[in-house]
Structure 1
Amino acid sequence: MSAEELEAMMARMKLKNDQIREQRERVAADEDAFNAKVKEERERQKKIREQQQAKATAQKKIQTSIDNEREENAKRKLAKLAQREWDSQKQSTPERKERPLKGLGRGAPISSSDVRQPNTPITPKTEEAPQLPELEKNGLADEWAAATAAATEQW
């Protein structure tokens, strides 16, 4: 080989070595950038998990508070129900004064005589019920019998 060929060959090898070195530097820079992005993503995911965990803890605390309040309300309600059952077993004495009826609003009884006592049958008032002889005069006895039979079936 001649000196000129040797120099040309050395120049090509130097050029090739420079290209390989540049490529290795680009790969290393790309790898560093990738590792940095992965690290950032992991930190972001960790922060999100911590936020979700804090939110879940707060929700659990709130739900526990709600459950406790519901339990207390249920206990109070049962206590009132038991108290009412105890009161219902009491015998009314003449010493107890009847309180005047309040409200007289929609559905309220007009007087204490209109209030039906528990476990008493409902009976129609006799002055309002038509008498059978009057119905026979008007020819409505059969209709009245059918109507009363239907009404008693409902009860």
Structure 2
Amino acid sequence: MASLEWNASLIVDFPVMDEVHEEFVALLAQVEAAGDEQLRALWDVLIAHTQHHFDQEDRWMQATGFAPGNCHSQQHKVVLAVMREGAVKAEQGDLSTIRHMASELGPWFSHHAQNMDASLALHMRSAGFDPLTGAVLMPEALPQEPITGCGGACGTSDKTAEARL
């Protein structure tokens, strides 16, 4: 059984992000259902998808006022590093590491999407951010100071957070 299934609790109401999240959930399910002969290749596909997914979100954060080292982006880097370590272990014949990682990715992703990504989506909607063009339709809604936290207003000063509410 998959550690995560697509459901309404994962929807962040930012269609481009929701589509990528649904793809991630489907790819993770394929990894979890894979036989040993397919596991490494599917894990590599999941890593490539996740890299693209995280790069996209990181670009959106940069375009909408996040500090370069914010914890949301840092979490992306850590998760990708761990996934790549799983690929190395698999190359050495240890498929159990990937199977364990895959079972842990589901609960992690659910929490990440419902908290960090939901906050990011709210932040982008409030600024009128267009993910296809990179345009910010309401630049006055962007924070005065770079966001250093894990979501939208959570990493700004109290004054900036209050002004955005």
TM-score, structure 2 length as denominator?
0.20
Task: Pick the structure with greater CA Rg.
Answer: 1
